[in-house]
Amino acid sequence: MSSRPIDVAVVGGGMGGLCAAIGLLKHPNLRVQIYEAAHQFSEIGAGVAVGPNAQRALKLIGDSTEAAYLRLATHNKWEKHANTFFEYRMGMGEKEGELIVAPKNETGQATVHRAKFLEEFIKLVPKEVCHFGKRLDRIEELEGGRIRLHFHDASTAEADCVIGADGIHSVVRKHLLGDDPAANAVFTGSVAYRGLVPMENAVAEIGEEFATNSFIWCGDGASVTTYPVDEGKTFNIVAINSSYEKWEGPSVVKADYSKIAHEFGGWGEHVTKIIKLLDTDETAAWSMWDMPPASTYCARTIAMIGDAAHACLPFQGQGAGQSIEDAFVIESVLGLVEKPEELAYAFRAYDRIRRRRTQEVVKTSREMGEILALRLPAIKNNLDAFKENVQWRMDWMWHRDVDGERREAEIVFNRLRKGQSID
Ligand SMILES: Cc1cc2nc3c(=O)[nH]c(=O)nc-3n(C[C@H](O)[C@H](O)[C@H](O)COP(=O)(O)OP(=O)(O)OC[C@H]3O[C@@H](n4cnc5c(N)ncnc54)[C@H](O)[C@@H]3O)c2cc1C
């Protein structure tokens, strides 16, 4: 055992970074610091769906992270929708309103208000380990193995290892991948219009069943997702147009309602009513990017997790969930490290176990966008094929044994530590 704790720097305090830090704090062999670019930890007010796989990972990280989720989880209101994730329905054309599929799982839909969720995590991290206004500019690998982080405010910090949880424009990823084109996220052709509406307005417009339970409306080249958040006080809308060829300028901008109304002009009555609810000053347009597959998530004593490693489209509700799964596996395996020389083994074990699954999620999330937009060549308007496909792909996502992944990572780590092959 090392005579001093091992210093772990977590760069980025979003859901992935904070969950990793909370997990790392459990291990007496580790000393954690979080470096966040913003002046405080923050998230937007929108909702985020937390699948059963992410719920299990939150429980495994600790009772406190599970309790945070349980305090905030909002479910479908009506008994008949209790175990349903979303009802997928046709949003336009002759089959408008037709139910395509309603995949179910043990908890049904579970959403949380992002900003409130993050607030709960912040309470679990001591203030003295959080450093704000620390935008990482570059990483220097020092002789002897320590890492020096250089921040935009000209300050520096040192650590034995770094976990990059710095999101879609990750500096840590660029350090790890260098000139590889996979170092940068790519525009996916989808733009999401996101809005939050007081629940009473939504009920008045579309009725209680559609406002207080989760639905996805599918149509030519686009989809519209709605669900309740914030204990049912708010109606969350994500209308995604998947027909953009390019995107220029800032990745998130204030939305122009006339443009949204034009883009969703040919949809049926129900979706038209939802789109009308986006006619507020608060609606934002988010260009949607994802990460090409990286050849590795780590090198030596530097690793990346969450969106930095594998940002994906939101069509399967899995980006944050995958960040939380990563956080659990990486904190668990780092908990086994006894001396700085073993850090690289822990990161290789994390990479070995997590890379394949998360890259598959990126790929299938793109496919799911195509399915919802009725464009996946093998499915298009064949609603039976749509149903069958969505059913199994969500089961694959939800039923992953993340504690099994932790055990596998520990096996890989122990083999590397003993000098044994993992190939
Ligand atoms: C429209 C939409 C809907 C979505 N819906 C869902 C859903 O329902 N379910 C789901 O699971 N996922 C969903 N996602 C995906 C989810 O939001 C992300 O996958 C998740 O937030 C990623 O968390 P993260 O911690 O990895 O990254 P982020 O949340 O991006 O956090 C990165 C943090 O790093 C900080 N940072 C960035 N650069 C630096 C730097 N250089 N130095 C220091 N700090 C830095 C940032 O300020 C930020 O705090 C959705 C995404 C979108 C766009």
| pLDDT band for position 241 (cuts 50, 70, 90) | very high
Q: How far is the CA of 162 from the centre of ligand 1 (A)?
A: 18
Cα distances from 70 to residues 56, 64, 155, 319, 399, in angstroms, run 12, 10, 39, 19, 19
Judge whether 2 and 338 are in contact, CB under 8 Å: yes
The answer, yes or no, to whether any atom of ligand 1 lies below 6 A from the CB of 136, is yes
Share of the chain above pLDDT 90, in %: 96
**321 vs 423, residue with greater confidence:** 321
Judge whether 308 and 167 are in contact, CB under 8 Å: yes
pLDDT recorded at residue 411: 98
- The closest residue, in CA terms, to atom 3 on ligand 1 is 314
Q: What number is the average pLDDT over the span 272-283?
A: 97
Res. 45: pLDDT tops 90: no
The SS3 of residue 174 is helix
The answer, yes or no, to whether any atom of ligand 1 lies below 6 A from the CB of 221, is no
Q: Is 222 left (phi over 0), alpha (psi -120 to 50) or beta?
A: beta
With CA atoms as reference, report the closest residue to 14 among 290, 314, 306, 291.
Answer: 306
380 CB burial (10 A radius; 0-12, 13-18, 19+): middle
CA atoms within 13 A on the CB side of 44: 12
The SS3 of residue 291 is coil
| CA–CA separation, 32 and 54 (whole Å) | 23
Q: How far is the CA of 323 from the centre of ligand 1 (A)?
A: 9
Res. 368: pLDDT tops 90: yes
Res. 41: pLDDT tops 90: no
The SS3 of residue 129 is helix
Q: How far is the CA of 321 from the centre of ligand 1 (A)?
A: 11
Q: What number is the average pLDDT over the span 404-419?
A: 98
- The closest residue, in CA terms, to atom 26 on ligand 1 is 306
Q: What number is the average pLDDT over the span 144-173?
A: 97
pLDDT recorded at residue 42: 81
The answer, yes or no, to whether any atom of ligand 1 lies below 6 A from the CB of 165, is yes
pLDDT recorded at residue 46: 81
Atom of ligand 1 nearest to the CA of 135: 42
Res. 44: pLDDT tops 90: no
pLDDT recorded at residue 66: 97
Pairing relationship of beta strands 147-151 and 136-141 according to DSSP bridges? antiparallel
194 given a catalytic annotation:
yes
Q: What is the pLDDT of residues 323-348, one digit of tens each?
A: 999 999 999 999 999 999 999 999 99
Q: What is the pLDDT of residues 73-131, one digit of tens each?
A: 999 999 999 999 999 999 999 999 999 999 999 999 999 999 999 999 999 999 999 99
pLDDT recorded at residue 208: 98
| pLDDT band for position 391 (cuts 50, 70, 90) | very high
The SS3 of residue 134 is coil
One-character DSSP codes across 365-390: HHHHHHHHTT--TTTTT-HHHHHHHH
The edge-to-edge listing of strands for the beta sheet with 147-151 is: 136-141, 147-151, 156-159
Pairing relationship of beta strands 222-229 and 215-219 according to DSSP bridges? antiparallel
| CA–CA separation, 310 and 294 (whole Å) | 8
- The closest residue, in CA terms, to atom 31 on ligand 1 is 14
The answer, yes or no, to whether any atom of ligand 1 lies below 6 A from the CB of 317, is yes
Domains defined along the chain, listed by start: 6-74+110-185+295-368+405-416 (3.50.50.60), 186-290 (3.30.9.30)
Q: How far is the CA of 319 from the centre of ligand 1 (A)?
A: 8
Q: How far is the CA of 38 from the centre of ligand 1 (A)?
A: 13
The answer, yes or no, to whether any atom of ligand 1 lies below 6 A from the CB of 307, is yes
The answer, yes or no, to whether any atom of ligand 1 lies below 6 A from the CB of 394, is no
Cα distances from 119 to residues 51, 103, 134, in angstroms, run 20, 31, 19
| pLDDT band for position 219 (cuts 50, 70, 90) | very high
pLDDT recorded at residue 81: 97
Tell me the two tokens of residue 3: 């005579």
Of 114, 194, 366, 406, which is the active-site residue?
A: 194
Element (H, E) at 171: helix 171-177
ipTM for the assembly: 0.98
pLDDT recorded at residue 43: 81
Element (H, E) at 404: helix 402-417
| CA–CA separation, 67 and 162 (whole Å) | 28
Q: What number is the average pLDDT over the span 396-418?
A: 97
Judge whether 19 and 111 are in contact, CB under 8 Å: no
Res. 318: pLDDT tops 80: yes
pLDDT recorded at residue 398: 96
